[in-house]
Structure 1
Amino acid sequence: MTAPVVLTCGDPAGIGPEIAVSARHVLGGEVPFFWLGDPRHLPAGTPLTLIDSPHEAAEVAADRLPVLAHPFLHEVKAGAPDPSLAQDVIDVIARGVDLVRTGAASAICTAPISKKVLKDGAGFAYPGHTEFLAHLGGVGRVVMMLACPALRVVPTTIHIALSDVPRQLTPELLEETIRITHAGLRRDLGINGARIAVAGLNPHAGEGGLMGREELDWIAPLVERMRGEGFDLRGPMPPDTMFHAAARAGYDVAVCMYHDQALIPIKTLDFDGGVNVTLGLPFIRTSPDHGTAFDIAGKGVAKPTSLVAALRMAQQMAKARLG
C-alpha cells in the first residue's frame, strides 16, 4: 500500500495539532500519514517536513511530521477557539476527503472539531463530522462505530434527547443500522459473517413485556426475520448483562439502541484508546474518540493514545479494502 493516511487538523485551537506531533513520535514510520493544516498551528519547535503531495510523506524521516500545508486566515492561540477560522476547518475536511477519493490518500483520520465554533463562524449545517462526511461521500445514511480491542459498539440513535429515542427508534432504522454494520465489518475489517449482538431498549430487554413492549412487539421479530436471511444475530439482549467479558466473547459488535447505552461500556473499558469509525462511507474514516479539549490545549498534557489507535485502524481498514 503506497498511499498514506491523511490526518486533518481539526480545530487548531484544540489538542489536535499537539497530539498529531505526539502520534508521529509514537508511530514513527509504522503508519504512513501526513498532517493537513496550517503549520503555524503546530506546537513551537515541531520537527516537520513540508510536502507538496501526499506520496512524498513516505520519504520523510520517521522523527519528523510530514505536513501538507493548508493556509488558514491567521494564527490561533491554543485553547482559544476562533469562529473566524471555521470555514478553513471545514475546507480542510473537504480537501482531505477529496485526497482519499482520488486515491492520493488511503484513508482519512479526522482530528476533533467544535460543532459550535463551526456553526457560529460558518453556519455549519450538520450535527457533526459524521453527517458532513456522509454529505461529502454522497450517501444518505452512515453508522458510527466505536471500537477498542475489547469491544465494538454501534448506537442506532445518536445525538438526540433520551426522550426522543422511542419515537426515532424504528424497525426500519434498526434494520438499516444492522445491515450497514454487517457490510462495514466485512468490507473494512475483513470480518465475514459478523456475530452481531442486538441490545434491548428497556431494562432486562423488557422482561416479557413487564418493563416495555418494544422487544416483544418488533425488535425480536426483526431479529428473527434477519436471522432467516443469514445474519448471525443474538438478542434482543438485556443491556445490563451483555458487556461483561464472557458475554463480549460471544459477538463481534454490539448494536445498541441509543448513545449512552453504547458509549458508557466502551469508555469504561478503554477511555483513552477508543476509536470512532464511520461505516457506510465510500471511503475510510476514523477519528479519536474524544473532543477538542480546549481546556488543556497547549499545556502538553494531552494523550495521543486514541489518535494512535485511530491511525492504526485507518491503515488496517485500508488494507482490508485492498483485500
Structure 2
Amino acid sequence: MTRQPRLVLVPGEPAGIGPELCVRLAQQPRQDCQLVAFADPDTLRAAAGQLGLPLQLLAEDQPAHQPGELRCRPIRNRVATTFGQPSPDNAAAVIQALANGADACLGGEFDGLVTGPVHKAAINAGGIPYTGTTELLAERARCPVVMMLANDIVRVALVTTHLPLRAVADAITAHQLQQVLEITRRALQQDFGIAEPVIAVLGLNPHAGEAGILGDEEINVIEPVMRQLRTQGRHLVGPLPADTAFLPQKLRGFDAVVAMYHDQGLPVLKYSGFEQAVNITLGLPYPRVAVDHGTALELAGKGLADPASLFAAVSHCARFAAQRKLHA
C-alpha cells in the first residue's frame, strides 16, 4: 500500500497569524497526508493557548491520530514571540525553517512543502537579504519557476511577478514567455493530471494591442512564441484581451490563464474567491503550495484569522504529491 505523502508545514512569521492557522489545522484529522511542522514549539503552544485549543506536539516519527496532535521538527526562535510584533531577531529561524523544509523535499525525505506568510521587512531588518520565498526556493533548487495562484474558479500563472509597471514590457521576452508557458503546461500535466492542457494567454496591452495600434508586444513577442509552440502541439488560445478573457463562459474552456503581469490577473482571481486561493510554485522538483495572504499582524493571537487558505494549501499539496508519486 502506497504511504501517504509526507509534507513539511512552515508557519512563516512567528508573530503573524501563521502559527495559529497551523494550530487550527491540527484540529482536523487528515487522511490525505502526514504533516510535520518545521517550527518553534513554544510559539505553536502560545498560539494554541491564545485560541484556547488543544495542541500536543509529537516527534516527527510518531503517529498523529487525534485532533490537536501535530508532529514537529523544532526550529527554535531566538527570542520569545509577541503576536502582532515581528522581531528581526527571529528572522534567521524563519529562513532556516524554509530552507530546511526545501532541502528535506529536495533530498526525498518529504514529498511537498506548505508555507505560511512571512514578513519581508522583518527578515531584511534581521540582516538577511530576502525578496520572497518563491525566489528562495528556486535558488536552492537551481531551476526556473513560475508563480501560479489558483482557486476553484480559475488558475492564473504570471510571466512577471513583483515588478514596477514601467519595467514589465521590457521583462516580457520571447525566452521568458516560452519558459513560463512550458513550465505551466508541465505542471498542469504533472500536478493537476490534465493530459492536454488548454492555456489562455493574455495580451500585454489593452485590447491585446488592437493590431498594433495600442502597442506592438503582441505582434513582436507574444504571437511568435505562441505560433512556435503550437507547431509542437501546445494548445494555446490568444493573445486575448484581459478585460474579456475572464468571462465565465470563456474560462470554462481554459485549464489556466497566463497573465503578463501581477495586477493583470490576480485581482480577478482574488475577487472570485480570495479565501480559498492558494499560491503554487510551478517548476520545482517537489510541490510547494503557500497561503494567498499576508501575516495579518493586526489579527495575530486574536483567533479571528480565516484558516481556509491554509486548509486549501495543504489539500492541494497533498493531491499534487500523490499525483507525482502515482506517475513517478
Place the TM-score, normalised by the shorter chain, in its bin: over 0.9
In the other structure, the counterpart of 1:251 is 254
Distance of aligned partners of 1:76 and 1:59 in 2 relative to their CA distance in 1, 3 Å threshold = closer
Contact 1:142 1:280 in 2 (8 A): yes
Residue number in structure 2 paired with 1:38: 40
Distance 1:316 1:187 in 2: 11
**Aligned partner (choices 101, 111, 124) of residue 96 of structure 1:** 101
Tell me how far apart the structure 2 counterparts of residues 239 and 230 of structure 1 sit (CA, whole Å). 24
After superposition, give the CA deviation of every residue in 1:203-236 in whole Å (9 maximum; x if it has no partner): 1111111211111222112211110111000000
Q: 1:50 aligns with which of 27, 46, 57?
A: 57
User: After the TM superposition, which segments of 4 or more aligned residues of structure 1 sit over 3 Å from their partners?
Assistant: 26-31
Q: Once the two structures are aligned, what percentage of the paired residues are identical? A: 38
Conserved 8 A contact 2:58-2:64: no
d(CA) in 2 for partners of 1:31, 1:69: 20
**SS state at 2:311 partner:** helix
Hey, what does 1:109 align to over in structure 2?
114
Shift of 1:201: 0.5
Describe the shift of the 1:30–1:63 C-alpha distance in structure 2 as closer, same or farther (beyond 3 A): farther
Counterpart residue identity of residue 159, structure 1: H
Match of 2:276 in 1: 273
| Paired residue type of 2:198 | R
Shift of 1:240: 0.4
TM-score, normalised to structure 1, is 0.94
Aligned: 1:212 with 2:215: yes
- Equivalent of 1:76 in 66, 81, 96: 81
SS of corresponding position for 1:254: strand
Query: Unaligned regions of 5+ residues in structure 1, if any?
Result: none
SS state at 1:189 partner: coil
- For 2:8 and 2:126, the matched residues in 1 are separated by 25
* Cα distance change on mapping 1:67 and 1:47 into 2, 3 Å: farther
Deviation per residue, 1:231-255 (Å, 9 max, x gap): 0000001100011111101110101
Matched letter for residue 192 of structure 2: L
Unpaired runs of 5+ residues, structure 2, are none
Give distance in 1, aligned partners of 2:64 and 2:308. Answer: 25
Give RMSD over aligned pairs: 1.5
Work out the number of aligned pairs and report it: 319
Q: TM-score, normalised by structure 2?
A: 0.93
In the TM superposition, residue 29 of structure 1 has moved relative to its aligned partner by 4.6
Task: Give the whole-Å Cα distance in 2 for the aligned partners of 1:177 and 1:103.
Answer: 26
Greater alpha carbon shift after TM alignment, 170-179 vs 215-224: 215-224
Distance 1:68 1:254 in 2: 37
Which residue, 67, 70, 73 being the options, matches 1:62?
A: 67
